[in-house]
Amino acid sequence: MRVLVTGGAGYIGSVVTAELLARGHDVIVVDDLSTGHADAVAPEARFHRAGVTQLSDVLGDWSVDAVLHFAAKSLVSESVQHPARYWHNNVTGTIALLDAMRAHGVDRIVFSSSAATYGDVSDMPIYEDAPTRPTSPYGASKLAVDLALADYARAYGLAAVSLRYFNVAGALHQPDGRSYGERHATETHLIPLALRAAAGDSEPLSIFGTDYPTPDGTCVRDYIHVVDLADAHVRALTAAIAGEHQIVNLGSGSGYSVRQVLQAVRAVTGLSVPVRDASRRPGDPARLVAANTRALALLDWRPTRGLDAMVSDAWAFTRR
């Protein structure tokens, strides 16, 4: 299959690109490099530096079979301060992409949606039919695209899958020695920050909230290995059905608290993680755990790598 990957120079996009190539697909990456890194794109992929609103030529020049759409802004707190960036980039940008796809007869898309579309949910685990009440413009922008995809599928016959990620972590280490992982200029995620603190490269890690109604008082999240996530994307490419929009959660079905993650970081690295208790981070729900039965039913997908593998692969990536 010839696949166009938007945002293929970012964390998840670069891992999925490498996995697609390893499975024999032909990959064209587009990325505006606003947050991605050109050297994160596997050399076997064709690379175009462009934004998602500038894809008409690329779609016209190459007979693309499907689009994997990762390009987006993805910082929850930035989205609260600068919602216009999120509505323009994530929503207007995606509509422009969908219209360019229509114009060029490309009728298959897998979209990076998010658990942030659900917001603060009380019933765990979260099924795909749970109410969607996003608590940030980031989550709202992902939900808006999910709604647009449903309309485009129904009216224009698009085959669309929205994959709603829970907490993605880990890195891809290929047998040829190349690695793909997380290197955000602005890092907000727990595992990379805990690894930096363990390595002594940063201030102590702040634990955001120790008074949540959870067993140890810290937030519980559902972590999923980026290589498992990539596998789900490859499966979704073929599972997408013309005229249908399918929403699929990607998580492990198990939750780990912040303190449990820090324990895994200590166990894997053999280092202590300096921490300090801090106040709650605005907008953080106490608990987010995915129901992943639909991923099994539709994609025959199940997670194969646990928290220790995520931490050790991320640690190996950081040390390179």
Q: Are strands 256-257 and 220-221 parallel, antiparallel or unpaired?
A: antiparallel
Among 6, 90, 114, 292, binds ligand UFG (CB under 6 A): 114
In degrees, rounded to 5, the angle at the alpha carbon of residue 55 between the alpha carbons of residues 49 and 58 is 80
As given in the structure block, the two tokens for residue 55 are 């894809």
Q: How far is the CB of 243 from ligand UFG (least distance, A)?
A: 29
Q: How far is the CB of 283 from ligand UFG (least distance, A)?
A: 8
Residue 1 Cα distances to 66, 106, 298, angstroms? 8, 12, 20
Going by the DSSP 8-state scheme, the letter that residue 202 receives in this structure is S
* Residue 273 touching ligand UFG (CB under 6 A): no
Which one of 34-42, 104-112, 202-210, 307-315 is the stretch in contact with ligand UFG (CB under 6 A)? 202-210
Rounded CA separation 136/157 (Å): 30
Bond preceding residue 192 cis, omega within 30 of 0: no
As given in the structure block, the two tokens for residue 177 are 């020695």
Which one of 80-88, 186-194, 232-240, 264-272 is the stretch in contact with ligand UFG (CB under 6 A)? 186-194
* Residues 207-226 within binding reach of ligand UFG (CB under 6 A): 207-208, 219, 221
Which one of 151-159, 204-212, 237-245, 248-256 is the stretch in contact with ligand UFG (CB under 6 A)? 204-212
Strand order of the β-sheet with 220-221 is: 256-257, 220-221, 287-288
- How many angstroms from the chain centroid is the CA of residue 289? 15
156 is catalytic: no
- Active-site choice (138, 152, 165, 223): 138
Among 126, 205, 237, 291, binds ligand UFG (CB under 6 A): 205
User: With contacts defined by CB under 6 A, how many residues of the chain interact with ligand UFG?
Assistant: 21
Site of interaction with ligand UFG (CB under 6 A): 74, 76, 114-116, 138, 167, 188-190, 193, 205-208, 219, 221, 258, 281, 284, 288
Annotated active-site positions, please? 138
